[in-house]
Amino acid sequence: MILKNADSRERDIEELERLVKIAPVDRKSKVEQELRFLRAGIKGENESAYLIDFDFKDAEKTVVIHDLRLEINGRVAQIDHLLIHRTLNCFVLETKHFHAGIQITEEGEFKQWNSFKKNFDGMASPLAQNERHIAVLKEVFEHIELPTRAGMKLSPTLHSYVLVAPKARIDRPKKFDTSHIIKSDVLLKTIQNQFENKGVLDVFTSLARIVSLDTIIDIGQKLIALHKPATFDYAAKFGLKGAEISQVAPPAPLVAAPPAPIYSPVVHESKDALVCRKCNSPKMEIMYGKFGYYFKCGECDGNTPIKIACGTIGHNERIRKQGKKFFRECADCGSSSLFFVNP
């Protein structure tokens, strides 16, 4: 199930395209390089997101969050993709776009092929980068409400993987462990193998930690609520502030992407309609199923679909669950109101 899609980067692309047109010769190539890197990064993340969505959009045990940026105590994590399983195993995925491949040394150093120089250039370790993201995510988990067992708070187990394009070349060393650097098209198989290869003790531990789909949806929504989209001042970065760009209209403000359409539940437009469609009983509670939230009748056990709209064409409302309370929210309007309380 997809809870959040990646934020749009069109604003950044448009800004860099404008700067390319007005940049002086000594800075134009750097702006063009920034634009190429941005487009390549977006391309890599989109390719990985497509494959992840293909495998997990209908999953009933896993929720997916794309493009999650968290800040806590001065530290920042830009997580490309996050998968949360009902066993509270979380897979933190870092996407890298290597159009010509990578080389990893026995010491764990990463190098990427430079097509212009015809050799490998050093680069920061994506494994180390992802471990820093995990450290931030662990701290965030300490500050949000998590499920409990026998009065003890259940802490998620975090797993790190670096995803590269299916056609990218990976030159792996013989000794240094590169098992957490995988092609994006084998992610599902890799996760399945990880569960299958667990020892007996690990299996029992995972079974004892299984929570409901509603619970991991709630955890995912708490994380999404903390998402802070990044903003970039490219004009300042390349020294193009002031008169040089005064004639260029400022870009539109960055807006975080709304929750994925697959998780846009529907709600009743009128309180008069909050009765079972089969027996007209008002004794109902909200449940979650394959197609989202719906009403379950306590009298006849029938199901009643939920439908709403905020009144503005093109806007999509959703339901946010908080304990027994359900709120109807529209990200486009910025509205939130209590909709229903389960008995």
The pLDDT of residue 146 is above 50: yes
- Cα dihedral 288, 92, 141, 56, rounded to 10, equals 0
Residue 102 domain flag? yes
Helices (H) and strands (E) in the chain, counts: 7, 18
| Helix %, strand %, coil % of the chain (to 5) | 30, 30, 40
Is the pTM for the entire model greater than 0.75? no
pLDDT band at 268 (very low <50, low <70, confident <90, very high): very low
Q: Percent of the chain, pLDDT > 90? A: 43
HSE-CB for 103 with a 13 A CA cutoff: 9
* 226 and 271, same domain (yes or no): no
Strands ordered across the beta sheet of 284-289:
284-289, 292-297, 303-305
Give how many domains the chain has, as a whole number: 2
Q: 118-131, pLDDT tens digit by residue? A: 788 889 999 999 99
What are the beta bridge partners of residue 78?
69
Three-class secondary structure of residue 68 per DSSP: strand
Residue 252 domain flag? no
What number is the average pLDDT over the span 4-13? 91
Instruction: State the Cα–Cα distance between residues 252 and 248, nearest whole angstrom.
Output: 12
- Domain range spanning residue 213? 2-243
* 193 and 282, same domain (yes or no): no
The pLDDT of residue 315 is above 70: no
Q: Percent of the chain, pLDDT > 70? A: 83
Instruction: State the Cα–Cα distance between residues 191 and 102, nearest whole angstrom.
Output: 23
Domain boundary pick from 213, 243, 273: 243
H/E segment holding residue 292: strand 292-297
* 86 and 195, same domain (yes or no): yes
Q: 217-265, pLDDT tens digit by residue? A: 999 999 999 999 988 899 988 888 764 544 444 555 555 555 554 444 3
HSE-CB for 56 with a 13 A CA cutoff: 30
Compute the mean pLDDT over every residue in the chain, rounded to the nearest whole number: 83
Contact 230, 73 (CB under 8 A): no
Amino acid at 248: V
Query: Of the ranges 41-55, 254-268, 305-319, 328-342, which is most confident?
Result: 41-55
